[in-house]
Amino acid sequence: MSKLTLSKREFLALGAMAGALGLAGVPRGASAAEKGQIIASVLGGDYAELLRRIVDERVMIPAGYEVVQDISTTEARQTKLRTERTRRKASFDVGLLADLDMYPMAQIGVLEELDETKVPNIANVIPALRKSYAVPQLFSYIAIVYNPAKITTPPTSYKDLWNPEYKGKVGISDVLYVATSAAASLAAGGSMSDYTPGREKLLALKNEQNAKILPTNESIAAAFKSEEIWITLNYVARGFGWRKAGLNLAWAIPSEGAIPITFEMAVPKNAPNKDGAYAYLNAALEPDSQLGFLDKIGYLPSVTNAVLPPDVQKALALSPADQANLKSIDHAYFTANQSKIFDFWTREFKG
């Protein structure tokens, strides 16, 4: 995957085989393939296995569909969408991409504008995550992840990364340059539609706070373990996984608003089985489908009617107020300014 989506591949490493998601009690009313074949182009590994169990075998096959997984990379999926746009039929019915990767596909006009009457579960999607061209299957959000043994007063704002008490103990993940640039803008009083106010904040983070810029999220975890760093910005799903692995970590939702990442499903305009594709999107938004990915991975349901286990609710869930305050990436702004944002990050912040 590209640098932009590297952390999404790491997200898969947090997944585990969900053995508890057996198929006992699933109704077997319709015969397989009665309603045709659905080809889902998705990521591989644990994600694909969970999707097969939770959506394909639990919902779609009993409903009469045959489901085939087309395992591919983000780049391969985007290439297929671009090159197959003039064909009578695309090679898949449902495609999975992260939000930053899905938006350019919508902009070039290869995705179906969703008929929400065919995906009634869209009504339960968190409003801040709704799109006209894709459904959010899973999401996480940027939190302030910290070592509570070293930082005993919980942070409340992105600005806390610039607290002089943490000089030399701030870690920055290079692969999260987009979210970190956005958070710096918010800390400077800017917006998600203009990252330039955050440039001085980033330079101060480097020059005054002596922040450690680490190449991967795994290196962030290692730095927490060695106590080389005490605080960072990262997806709460990752902090959840690290804590389950034994690290002493806590996290706080910044008052400026948490920045979400979503993994979205969409339908090509020339999908061979559009009715089946719509049924698949609806199945993926069922509460049980959403909750099936939570264990071990820590990515949250994108629907409001999925009831979280009490311990997860306490640790990860956003309150209605925090949901309303989510600060989504402005995809139009980012797409138009990606090269400038990346050049500043690599040449001036890291350089």
In contact, 89 and 269? CB cutoff 8 Å? no
Which of 109, 41, 51 shows the shortest CA–CA distance to 71?
41
Distance linking the first and last C-alpha atoms of the chain: 24
The pLDDT tens digits for 59-98 are 999 999 999 999 999 999 999 999 999 999 999 999 999 9
All domains in the chain, ordered by first residue: 3-139+261-311 (3.40.190.10), 140-259+328-349 (3.40.190.10)
Identify the pLDDT of residue 1: 35
Identify the pLDDT of residue 34: 78
Which of 246, 254, 247, 206 shows the shortest CA–CA distance to 223?
247
- The alpha-helical segments, DSSP class H, found in 154-255 are 177-187, 199-207, 217-225, 236-244
In contact, 195 and 181? CB cutoff 8 Å? yes
Identify the pLDDT of residue 296: 59
Q: Find all residues with CB under 8 Å of 170, minimum gap 6, and list them.
A: 161, 205, 209, 210, 211, 212, 229, 230, 231, 232
H or E stretch at 265: strand 260-266
Q: Find all residues with CB under 8 Å of 96, minimum gap 6, and list them.
A: 40, 41, 42, 43, 77, 137, 263, 264, 265
**At 258, is the secondary structure helix, strand, or coil?**
coil
Which of 81, 6, 69 shows the shortest CA–CA distance to 43?
69
Residue 153 gets which letter from DSSP? S
Q: What is the pTM of this model?
A: 0.82
Beta strands in 83-242 (DSSP E): 94-98, 135-146, 170-173, 212-214, 231-235
Identify the pLDDT of residue 33: 61
In contact, 217 and 234? CB cutoff 8 Å? yes
Identify the pLDDT of residue 17: 29
Identify the pLDDT of residue 311: 87
Under-50 pLDDT residues of the chain: 1-30, 32
**At 235, is the secondary structure helix, strand, or coil?**
strand
